[in-house]
Amino acid sequence: MIEGPTSHTYFSQRLRLHYVDWGNSEAPPLLLIHGGRDHCRSWDWVAEKFRKDWHVIAPDLRGHGDSEWSADGEYSLRACLYDLAQLIHQKNLAPVTIVAHSYGGNLSLRYTGTFPETVRKLVVIEGLGPSPELLAKRADIPIDERIRKWIDEKRGLAARLPKKYTSLEEAMDRMKEANAYLSEKQARHLTVHGTHQNEDGTWSWKFDNYMRSMPPYEIEQSDLHHLWSRITCPTLLLYGADSWASNPAKDGRGDHFENAEVLEYQNAGHWLHHDQFDRFVSDVGAFIK
């Protein structure tokens, strides 16, 4: 049996944030960053494969896993970007290799474009944010309507209690509904580490529901493209052929990178690192060595 990681915390913007450390501290650092409504233990299978040659660290983003929730429900990329910068700074991880998924990938791209000298190599799984087509549709909505919708969403979330499941099995069924490619073992592991038991014996997800609401306005696309163009390290952009995400090699977003390769995964969705685990580990291992 492989020994598991140890839990640690650090502080950012007055929040106590959690991360797991897989040991081998003398090896080069490898940071694994999860996506929205996920948690650091979703990387366990990947960490087990790489811990022999790397010092693997996987954080829980604010409002996720065992990290504290933001008192004001602030989960913007701006806030999380500072958290990531503080983790790398406080733990002296630079130059660091980063593997990140979805929201964590979006975050990592912004960090790397801001501090390109601190990142050795970067792997991003479907983390470029909304497709150009979706952004165009959003741009057609007047800003006042977007702000009103955001306020209504926040009010709705304030009235929404965390969903309770009568058993881990019921929560696991919901996990499998969200990703049909998951095996029974994967779904159970993700559910066990992604839930906590309430006082009445029921189970709820650990993430803060306020994470579901994103700000009505964001960084300008021209500024985002500028950050991408500043990334100097080798970059691997991965996406699943069965995902809702758009292919950056075909929609033009890949053109903003100086040194990026795009790989498509067949029979894989948004969580391709679970869906095609063996290929993912092989591709990433060859890329980051």
The whole-angstrom separation of Cα 220 and Cα 23 is 39
Asked whether residue 1 carries a pLDDT value surpassing 80, the answer given is: no
pLDDT of 49 > 60? The answer is yes
Q: For 108-159, how does the pLDDT look when each residue is reduced to its tens digit (9 = 90+)?
A: 999 999 999 999 999 999 999 999 999 999 999 999 999 999 999 999 999 9
Distance between first and last Cα of the chain: 26
Span 17-47, pLDDT tens digits: 999 999 999 999 999 999 999 999 999 999 9
105: helix, strand or coil: helix
Q: What's the confidence (pLDDT) of residue 2? A: 54
Q: How do residues 245-286 score in pLDDT, each as one tens digit? A: 999 999 999 999 999 999 999 999 999 999 999 999 999 999
Map out the domains of the chain with their CATH numbers: 6-131+213-288 (3.40.50.1820)
Rounded-to-integer distance, Cα 70 and Cα 211, Å:
10
- What is the pLDDT at residue 171? 98
The helix (run of H) or strand (run of E) holding residue 262 is: strand 260-265
Distant-in-sequence, close-in-space partners of 254: CB < 8 Å, separation ≥ 6: 237, 248, 260, 262
Question: Could you give the angle at which helices 168-178 and 184-194 cross, rounded to 10 degrees?
Answer: 120
**pLDDT range class, residue 173, cuts 50, 70, 90:** very high
250: part of which helix (H) or strand (E)? Answer: helix 248-251
pLDDT score at 216: 93
Beta strand residue intervals within 14-102, DSSP E: 15-21, 29-33, 55-59, 96-101
pLDDT (0 to 100) of residue 110: 99
The pLDDT mean for the chain works out to 97
